[in-house]
Structure 1
Amino acid sequence: MSDSGGDKKHSASERKRRQAREKGQVAKSQDLTSATLLLAAIGALYTIGGNMAAYLSGGIEQALGETKLAPMTNQDATQYMLQISQRLAMAAVPMMILMFIGGVLINVFQSGLLLSTEKLMPKLSNISPLSGAKRILSLQGVMRLVFGMFKVGIIGGIAYLALRAHHGDVISMASLSVPQLAKSMFDTLFGVSLWIGVGLFVLALLEYVYQWWKTEQDLMMTDQEVRDEMKDTEADPQVAARRRQVARQLAMGQLGSEVPKADVVASNPTELAIAIKYDPLTMPAPIVVAKGAGMIAQRIRRLALENGIPVVERKELAQALYKLVDVGQEVPAEQYQAVAEILRYVYQMQGKKVPQATAA
């Protein structure tokens, strides 16, 4: 059976993932953020709750301990309210900082550092009653409602079990003094809240795993999408430039080991450079060990000069070898005479004996 091209069976490419991320299409659970904020608040109460309570109780004690009988003016009342507000803010700031840090960390964990302006753009579909009704009555909306009711049932069960575990403490509150009653109520509420927070976090984590899986499924590509992206990528000038840069870097890395092995470099005179090596004892014909144009040609000439390899200007020969011969291939028979001439010239210039090819 021929493939229809409509089935999503290919994993998303980096390009599609990048485009989806720019649109804000990433796996994310809002409940996971809420559960983390709740746990951060509970943790703040556990660690610094005593200091916060002492700070607030000191303000209340100071306010109730004043014996000022004169009526307060508007200015006095304003100053008094500012002092109380300042004390309340100072008590709440540490908790707010911990919650802020927890919210930032959980969002970075879910989607990384992401700033998508597309999500901030107003859309009429977001305020349309018809679009809202379609979202609510859709399969995804119904599933979200069912899962929400399931979470409410689970959290209600956890709260019931947590309260049942503190059943004895609740019954004994009737015989406690006011300070003891306050401490017992705080311990009970703290324990129940902690269990609820942990339950919410686990459920939200499961929802995040589902959202990640669903996002991966939505980003998968059909055969036609893969073909279209390959065409777009080939036509993208930035991608083409990046490929040329990578190829140039690879060529530059190979030049450092191949050019020093050459006997001569034929140039044209600055645009092209062809490094040629010939060993009559092991080679039936000279071979091209490196070639290049532009920056690569400049690199070949520089390496040749650094390693004492002669650079000979032979425009026609350099052009022919650059077009016809790949690196590692033998020089074609049509160019034997021209290559032999520059090799003979180089050997005579260096005072070496011209090598003779061995008979086959």
Structure 2
Amino acid sequence: MAETSDQESKTEEPTEKKIRDALEQGRIPVSREASIFASMAALMVIQAFLIGQGVQQLVPTLKALLDDPDGFRLRTAADAKDLLSVVGLEALRFLLPPVLILAVFGLAASLLQNAPRLALERIQPDFSRISPAQGWSRIFGTQGLVEFAKSIFKLVSVSLVVGFVLRSSEARAFEAMYTDPVALPEMILTIAMRIVSAICIATIVLVAIDLAWARFHWRRELRMTRQELKDEHKQAEGDPLIKARLRSLARDRSRQRMIAAASRASLVIANPTHFAVALRYQRDENPAPMVLAKGMDAIALKIRAVAEENRIPVIENKALARALYEAVQVDQLIPPEFFRPVAEIIYFLQSQKAPRSEKVQ
């Protein structure tokens, strides 16, 4: 009941990130029936193209071994080794092509379903596999019922196909009792090929259904709840509270650096407490005055306090201070339209040599 309730709460389709994470973890849709079908198809190819030729190559060796067993010396270990080498090479020559074809068809069935991936998590121990509760849910859950239905379908279809093929070959089986024994292997191979071919044809429908079910069940298992969508969105975009906190910290650090830079200013233009702009002008540094710091209200008062501590002139000019605050950013030179009023203030300060604040009307 808990599993059903949890699955019902997952109403949202999986996101691209959820699908990508599942693929990286090795959770991919796989149809077992496709692998079985590939094995049967490989067996059909082996019967059609390899068995006959392989038997013809193997028969002379077996015939020589069975017809004249005394012709092989077995007096020493070297003689036994030579005999086993001959038999082993012939057996390897007979078995290697079928094994390779089975392997190729098996790999093709897997690669055509999913691209190859290295998922180390799949080989790690999973104790839920030996849990009785988990095993019970797998056996009697939706997936277990589907596997049971597929097994019933395969049993019934294969039984009917084999019975039909054997029924149609009944006459040939009776005729075999009166035919040359040399023809029996070919007759058995023909019947076996008919059986395997019929089974492949009968299971094509099952393979198509199983492929579709594997994809559907995989995406169904990856469905997400609304809360999971929200959490993933927060992880992708960043928690708004954390982002706001980081922005606040960045602003605080920027203000601290700016206020610290105000101690190097040549003059501060204020309005008188709402705005403050700290300027630095040295002929050998920049062609025009540069804004080292600016601020409103509390920051403006802080800039004025730093200026007074460092004996930097503070000029009160309401219009100029407000205009500079709105037009110029920190660490930028003042625009040309401010050259004249700022130059007049600098000239006034140099002519008066006032160490503290002066007021310009």
Deviation at 1:86, TM superposition (A): 1.8
Letter in 2 for 1:43: V
Kindly indicate whether residue 235 of structure 2 is the aligned counterpart of residue 232 of structure 1.
Answer: yes
How far residue 116 of structure 1 moved from its aligned partner, in angstroms, is 1.7
CA–CA distance in structure 1, aligned partners of residues 159 and 289 of structure 2: 86
Equivalent residue number for residue 33 of structure 2: 31
Q: CA deviation at 1:158?
A: 1.8
Change (3 A) 1:202 1:73: farther
Q: Name the structure 2 match of 1:40.
A: 42
- 1:145 aligns with one of 148, 158, 177: 148
AA at the equivalent of 1:87: E
**SS of the residue 1:213 aligns to:** helix
C-alpha distance in structure 2 between counterparts of 1:208 and 1:104, whole Å: 16
Pair 1:177–1:211, CA change in 2 (3 A): same
Q: Deviations over 1:183-219 (max 9, x none)?
A: 1111011111221133234313321211111111222
2:97 corresponds to 1:91: no
Spell out structure 1 runs of 4+ moving beyond 6 A.
313-317
Q: Percent identity?
A: 19
Question: Is 1:205 equivalent to 2:242 in the alignment?
Answer: no
Please say if 1:155 is aligned against 2:158.
Answer: yes
Partner residue, 1:123: 126
Query: Which amino acid in structure 2 is aligned with residue 227 of structure 1?
Result: K
Q: Displacement, 1:175?
A: 2.2
C-alpha deviation, 1:69, in angstroms: 6.0
Shift of 1:92: 1.0
Q: Say if 2:171 is the partner of 1:168.
A: yes
SS in 2 for 1:214: helix
1:147 positional shift: 2.7
Check the 8 A contact 2:72/2:83 in 1, yes or no.
Answer: no
TM-score normalized by the length of structure 2 = 0.60
1:20 equivalent in alignment to 2:22 = yes
Normalising by structure 1, report the TM-score: 0.60
- Counterpart of 2:195, as a letter, is V
CA contact (8 A) 1:40 1:102 kept: yes
Q: How does 1:265-344 map to 2 (within 5 A)?
A: 338=335
Which 5+ residue runs of structure 1 have no aligned equivalent?
1-5, 237-312, 318-332, 342-360
Q: 1:72 to 1:166 in 2, by over 3 A?
A: same
Residue 27 of structure 1 aligns with an amino acid whose one-letter code is P
In 2, Cα distance between equivalents of 1:34 and 1:154: 15
Greater Cα offset, 188-197 or 71-80: 71-80
Quick one: distance in 2 between partners of 1:36 and 1:111? 15
Aligned partners of 1:45 and 1:95 also within 8 Å:
no
Between 209-218 and 146-155, the greater mean CA deviation after superposition: 146-155
Of residues 170-179 and 96-105 in structure 1, the stretch that sits farther from structure 2 once superposed is 170-179
Name the count of aligned residue pairs: 250
Q: What residue in structure 1 maps to residue 189 of structure 2?
A: 186
Q: Which residue of 1 aligns with 2:281?
A: none
Q: Is the 8 A contact 1:173 1:181 kept in 2?
A: yes
Q: Secondary structure at the match of 1:68?
A: helix
In the aligned structure 1, how far is the partner of 2:37 from the partner of 2:65?
A: 36
- In 1: Cα distance, 2:82 partner to 2:189 partner: 32
* Deviation for aligned residue 1:61: 2.4
Counterpart residue number, 1:241: none
1:198 match: secondary structure: helix
Contact 2:39-2:105 at 8 Å conserved across structures? yes
What secondary structure sits across from 2:70 in the alignment?
Answer: coil
**Residue in 2 that maps onto 1:217:** 220
Give the letter aligned to residue 58 of structure 2.
Answer: L
State whether residues 47 and 189 of structure 2, in contact with CA within 8 Å, keep that contact through their aligned partners in structure 1.
no
RMSD: 3.4
Q: Choose from 103, 108, 129 the match for 1:100.
A: 103
Give, in angstroms, the shift of residue 67 of structure 1: 6.1
SS of residue matched to 1:112: coil
- In structure 2, list runs of 5 or more residues that go unmatched: 1-7, 240-286, 292-325, 329-333, 339-361
Q: Secondary structure at the match of 2:50?
A: helix
Give CA-to-partner distance per residue, 1:72-113, whole Å, 9 cap, x none: 225223331232122111111111111111111110111211
1:82 aligned partner: 85
